[in-house]
Amino acid sequence: MIVVMKKNAHQEDVQRVVEYIEQAGLRPHLSDGSTHTIIGVIGAREAIDVLALEALPGVEKAVPVSSGLNLVSRDVKESNTIVTVGDAQIGGTELAVMAGPCAVESKEQLREAALAVKAGGAQFLRGGAYKPRTSPYAFQGLEEQGLKFLAEVSQEVGLQVVTEVVDVESLDLVSNYADMLQIGARNMQNFKLLQAVGKKGKPVLLKRGLSATIEEWLQASEYILREGNFQLVLCERGIRTFEPFTRNTLDLSAVAAAKMLSHLPVIVDPSHATGKWNLVAPMARAAIAAGADGLMVEVHPEPARALCDGNQSLTPKNFNLLMNEVRSFAGLMGRSLS
């Protein structure tokens, strides 16, 4: 349920509503809109339905939320959420770029990629230390050693680290090294992991599942928000369809829809979406046109020798070309790129 306070509601009125909700064993979440204070009510529907919220002074209306999007909805928060990670921001006028290899293979490989993406204007170094692969025989990542390389190289080069956490057991370890925690597509509905990441309090990047609807994606984000963590970014990375030419089908309508339905920032991963390096640039342009707040791009010093996803990785030279192109195109959309 969402409680909309009147324009002239006093702080005492707001506090009275908050206390009323808490006394019912429910949790309130306050959001100051441009004209109204809005209070989200979190808890069991049976307990919410019996509340006489509209009888309280200062309340304009109480609106039931049938979709279960109590916290992610724009009805709760009108303004765009801006997520801060170190000295970088996601969701403002400047586009955020996360770039680096699919997997951390060695410190030398990672450093070369990091220097290239930093020079191109990226703010984040992406790289997988834990790699959940379809085949058990594929490269699974360097695990903690890879995390150490990410921390060392990012500090040396001056980038924020975003890397995937694959289970609750490794969450504390990954959190010790990462600036931002990534929930991969295969874990989008790993609800225990979503709750644990929400409680951790670190900025989170939530990728859309392989076959998830937009509503399922947003409901997954609700698991994180309801734990009190609002530093959350959504990532569209393509969904599985009947089309075999590309790795996945990039759903740019989902970017516009997610921005319309929620206040969270949305970025796009054209590398995983297409699986082909020469489709990354056109899809990056299209993503910005659709309103994306940033990009996640795979960059490898030698894609032909990559231990995974070489076909979709850009060389440092091609990444620099992409960034120059995106920098020019962003201006047309009222955005900028560092």
| Residue 37 scores a pLDDT above 90 | no
| Three-point CA angle 16, 61, 69, nearest 5° | 95
The span from the CA of 266 to the CA of 262, in Å, is 10
Q: What is the pLDDT of residue 34?
A: 59
| Residue 69 scores a pLDDT above 80 | no
The span from the CA of 85 to the CA of 90, in Å, is 8
Q: Which of 76-80, 146-150, 292-296 comes out lowest in average pLDDT?
A: 76-80
Contacts of 248 (CB under 8 A, 6+ apart): 210, 237, 238, 239, 240, 241, 272, 273, 274, 275
Place of tokens 């770039």: 99
Q: Which of 15-19, 71-75, 223-227, 257-261 comes out lowest in average pLDDT?
A: 71-75
| Residue 154 scores a pLDDT above 60 | yes
| Residue 70 scores a pLDDT above 60 | yes
Q: What is the pLDDT of residue 43?
A: 79
The answer to whether the beta carbons of residues 131 and 308 sit under 8 Å apart is yes
User: Taking residues 120-127, what's their average pLDDT?
Assistant: 97
Q: What is the pLDDT of residues 205-263, one digit of tens each?
A: 999 999 999 999 999 999 999 998 999 999 999 999 999 999 999 999 999 999 999 99
| Residue 172 scores a pLDDT above 60 | yes
Q: What is the pLDDT of residue 65?
A: 65
Domain positions in the chain are 2-63, 83-332
| Residue 78 scores a pLDDT above 90 | no
According to DSSP, the β-strands at 59-63 and 2-5 are: antiparallel
Under CATH, what is the fold of the domain 83-332? Answer: TIM Barrel (3.20.20)
Q: Within a 10 A sphere around the Cβ of 137, how many other Cβ atoms?
A: 6
Q: What is the pLDDT of residues 263-276, one digit of tens each?
A: 999 999 999 999 99
Q: What is the pLDDT of residue 137?
A: 74
User: Taking residues 137-152, what's their average pLDDT?
Assistant: 90
Please tell me which residue, 68 or 237, carries the higher pLDDT value. Answer: 237
The span from the CA of 282 to the CA of 326, in Å, is 10
Q: Which of 129-133, 223-227, 236-240, 285-289 comes out lowest in average pLDDT?
A: 129-133
The answer to whether the beta carbons of residues 100 and 114 sit under 8 Å apart is yes
| Residue 165 scores a pLDDT above 80 | yes
Comparing CA positions, the residue from 119, 69, 116 lying closest to residue 127 is 116
Q: What is the pLDDT of residue 337?
A: 87
CATH for the stretch 2-63: 3.30.70.1140
Helix (H, G, I), strand (E, B) or coil at 183: strand
Element (DSSP H or E) covering residue 165 = none
Query: CA-based Rg of the chain, rounded to a whole angstrom?
Result: 21
Helix (H, G, I), strand (E, B) or coil at 55: helix
According to DSSP, the β-strands at 96-100 and 59-63 are: unpaired
Comparing CA positions, the residue from 300, 274, 258, 235 lying closest to residue 96 is 235
Indicate the average pLDDT of the chain.
Answer: 93
| Residue 68 scores a pLDDT above 70 | no
Q: What is the pLDDT of residues 177-192, one digit of tens each?
A: 999 999 999 999 999 9
Under the banding of pLDDT at 50, 70 and 90, the label for residue 66 is low
Comparing CA positions, the residue from 141, 99, 105 lying closest to residue 302 is 105
